Amino acid sequence: MTSAPVRDPLDDHLLTPENAAFLFIDYQPSQLATIRSMEPALLLKNAVSTVRTIKTFGIPVVHSTVNVANGQGPTLPELAVLLADDKPLDRTTVNSWEGHRIRLGRPRHRPPQARHLRLVDRSVHGLHRPGRAARRV
């Protein structure tokens, strides 16, 4: 069976490995311990499957943790082992976007109110690839 022609992966309106970035935020023991909307064990399994998928496609990852410097446990080991190449960025803010000032690449549709924003975090600037339309998944 031959493969269908590949659509332009940057211009595709669906998610592709080339037009997406993955934000991984606060998968830490204290967060897992407070989960009451589903079985924590299932959440962890789903997170592991998600990260394995993301890594299979080589999608860039922003790995964010909260308050590890002040005593919170780090990323759960089942997930940390999959993210060995993505050094955690620790922060104190609840909102990771506020804490790191993340710049993922060119948004597809830059709204007028964002025209003057330039969000650069040098620690993640390697994620920026010209032409990459970044999406959080």
Partner 1 sequence: MAFTALDALRDGYEVYPVVDAIAGTSPEAHRAGLDRVVQAGAQPISWVSLACELQRDWARLDTVQPIVQIVLTDRLLKE
Instruction: Write out the residues near partner 1 by the rule CB under 8 A.
Output: 1-4, 6, 14-17, 20, 23, 25, 34-38, 40, 43, 45-47, 49-50, 52-53, 56-57, 59, 94-98, 102, 104, 107-111, 113-114, 117, 119, 133-137
* Nearer residue to partner 1 within complex by CB, 37 or 70: 37
Nearest alpha carbon to residue 122 among 100, 96, 94, 95: 100
* Nearer residue to partner 1 within complex by CB, 115 or 122: 115
Q: Is the dihedral of CA 120, 122, 123, 129 positive or negative?
A: positive
Task: Assign residue 118 a region (left: φ > 0; alpha: ψ between -120 and 50; beta: otherwise).
Answer: beta
Give min distance, CB of 111 to partner 1, in A. Answer: 5
Distances (CA, A) of 122 to 13, 31, 32, 89, 104: 28, 27, 30, 12, 11
Give min distance, CB of 33 to partner 1, in A. Answer: 10
Cα 136 to Cα 119: distance, rounded to the nearest angstrom: 15
* Nearer residue to partner 1 within complex by CB, 13 or 122: 13
Give min distance, CB of 103 to partner 1, in A. Answer: 9
Give min distance, CB of 71 to partner 1, in A. Answer: 20
